[in-house]
Structure 1
Amino acid sequence: MSIVRLEHVFKDYTLGEQAVQALKDITLSIDDGAFLAIAGPSGSGKSTLLNLIGCIDTPTLGKILINGQDVSGRTPDELADLRARTIGFIFQTFNLFPVLSAEENVEYPLLQLKEISAAERRNRVSQYLAIVGLSKLARHRPNQLSGGQRQRVAIARALATQPKIVLADEPTANLDHKTGEGILQLMKEINGNFKTTFIFSTHDSRVMEMADRLVRIEDGQIVRQDVDDNENWTS
C-alpha cells in the first residue's frame, strides 16, 4: 500500500524575473513501512521533493497524496494539522530549542495536539527517550549534549506524535562516522519495530547502502529507481 504518491508533480520558483523549474514531472509511489533514500547532487531538487512530501511546500502542478489524502487545495491550517498528525521531521542541524531540556523538546510537538492529555504526553516523552537511549539525560539542554545525543533527541521528538512518516533531511551530515552509523542503525531498528516509513534526502553512501529502496534525482527529474539493488549508488 502506498503511503505517499506523487503524480506528475512540477515545482517552479521565481527568482527575480527568472522562473526556475525545481522539479519536472515527478511520479513516485512510496510503500508504507519503506526505508527509502532520495539521492542526488546539490541543487538536484531532492530537498524540494522532501518539502513537498512534508507539506511544507505545495506543487505548481500535479497531485500529492499523503496517507491516502489528497493535499491539493488545502488551507495552510489544514496542511499544518496533517503534518502534526502524520509526519515527523529530522534535520541535519537538529533544530532543537536551546532553552528547553531534552524532554521538553520531545514534548513540544505533542502540545500542538490538544486531545493528548498531560499524562499521555509524559508517557510518550519517557517512552521515546528510552527508545533512543537518553532516559538519563532527559533534563539536559542541547548545549549539554553531544551531536549524536542531540540527533537522538530529534529522533525522539519526530516519533513522539507517532507519525506514519518520518522525513530525514541529511540526518548524518553533521555527525562523525561512528556516531552517524549508530544513528542510522537506530532509525533502521525503529523502521523494523514500528513499521514507520522513513524517507531520507542524502549524500551519505551509508544511508544509500542501508535503504531498501533508492531514488536518484538529477536536474529536478527522477533518473533511476532501484529496489534491493545498491550497486553504483555510493559514487
Structure 2
Amino acid sequence: MSIVRIENVSKRYRLGEQEVAALRGVSVSIEQGEFVAIAGPSGSGKTTLLNMIGCIDTPTGGRVVVDGQDVTGRSPDQLADLRARTLGFIFQTFNLLPVLSAEENVEYPLVNIQHLPREERRRRVAYFLDMVGLTRFAKHRPNQLSGGQRQRVAIARALATRPKIVLADEPTANLDHQSGEGILQLMKEINHHSGTTFIFSTHDARVIAMADRVVRVSDGEVVGEESNR
C-alpha cells in the first residue's frame, strides 16, 4: 500500500524577475516499509521533493498524499500536526540543540505531543537512546559527542515520536566513512525490524546501494527508477 503518492507535482520559485522550476511534473509512489533513495546531483530537485513529502514546502501544481491525506490546501497548523504525528526528520547538519543533553534532544519533540505522560516520554527516550547505542552518553551535550554519535542522537530523536515515515536529507554527508557505514546499517536494521519507511535525499553511493529502490532525479524530473531487491 502506498504511504506516499506524488502526482504530477511541479514547484516554481521566483528569483527576482526570473521564475525557476525546481520540480517539473514529478510522479512517485512509495510503499509502506520501503527504504528508498531519491538520488541526483546538487540542484536536481531531490531536496525539494523530500520537502514536499515532509510538508515543509507546498507544490505549485499537482498533489502530494502522505499517509492517505492530501496535503494540498492544508493550513500551517494542519501540516504541523501531520508532521508531528506521521514524520520524523534526519538532517546532514544534525540540527541538535547545543544547550540540551542527548536525552533532552531526543525528548524535545515529545513535549509537544498532547496527553503523553512524562513517564512515557522518559521511557521512550531511554529506549531509543539504547537502540542507537548511546545510553552511557545520555547526559552529554552535542559538543561532547563525535559526528557519528550526534547523528545517532538525531536518529533517536526522529524515531521517538514513532513516525510512520523517516525523511533523511543527506544523512551521511558530514560523517567519515566508518561512521557513515554504521549509521546506514543502523537505519537499515530499524527499517527491517520496525517497518518504518525511510526516504533519503542523497548522492552517496553507499545509500544508493543499500536502498530497496532508487528514484533518479535530474533537472527537476524523474529520469529513472531502479530496484535493488
TM-score, length basis structure 2 = 0.99
Counterpart of 1:53 in structure 2 is 53
User: Aligned partners of 2:17 and 2:114: how far apart in 1?
Assistant: 43
1:20-39, CA deviations, whole angstroms, 9 ceiling, x for partnerless residues?
Answer: 01000011100000000011
Partner of 2:139: 139
CA distance in 2, matches of 1:159, 1:124: 9
SS in 2 for 1:89: strand
Q: Is the 8 A contact 2:209 2:228 kept in 1?
A: no
Taking the TM superposition and a 5 Å limit, the aligned residue runs for 1:173-184 are 173-184=173-184
Residue type of the alignment partner of 1:49: L
Correspondence for 2:163: 163
Distance (Å, rounded) in 1 between the aligned partners of 2:39 and 2:227? 14
List structure 1 segments (4+ residues) > 4 angstroms apart after TM superposition. none
Judge which range, 220-229 or 126-135, deviates more: 220-229
Cα deviations across residues 50-85 of structure 1 (Å, max 9, x unaligned)?
A: 000000000000011000111111000100010011
Q: Tell me what 1:150 maps to.
A: 150
Rounded Cα–Cα distance in structure 2 between residues aligned with 1:115 and 1:36? 33
SS in 2 for 1:41: coil
Does residue 43 of structure 2 align to residue 43 of structure 1?
A: yes
Match of 1:3 in 2: 3
Letter in 2 for 1:47: T
Q: Deviations over 1:70-120 (max 9, x none)?
A: 111100010001001100000000000000000000000001101211011
After superposition, residues 1-235 of structure 1 pair within 5 angstroms as 1-228=1-228
Report how many aligned residue pairs link the two structures: 229
How much is the aligned-residue C-alpha RMSD, in angstroms?
A: 0.6
Residues 38 and 200 of structure 2 are in contact (CA less than 8 Å); yes or no, is this contact kept in structure 1? yes
In structure 1, runs of 5+ residues without a counterpart are: 230-235
Letter matched to residue 5 of structure 1: R
Q: What is the DSSP-based 3-state SS (H/G/I as helix, E as strand, rest coil) of the residue aligned with 1:180?
A: helix
* AA matched with 2:46: K
* Matching residue's letter, 1:63: R
Q: 1:228 Cα shift?
A: 2.1
* TM-score computed with the length of structure 1 as normaliser: 0.97
1:232 corresponds to which residue? none
Residues in 1 aligned to 2:116 and 2:223: alpha-carbon distance in whole angstroms: 43
Task: Give the whole-Å Cα distance in 1 for the aligned partners of 2:147 and 2:125.
Answer: 20
Deviation at 1:226, TM superposition (A): 1.1
Q: What is the percentage of aligned positions where both structures have the same residue?
A: 70
**Runs of 5+ consecutive residues of structure 2 not aligned to the other structure:** none
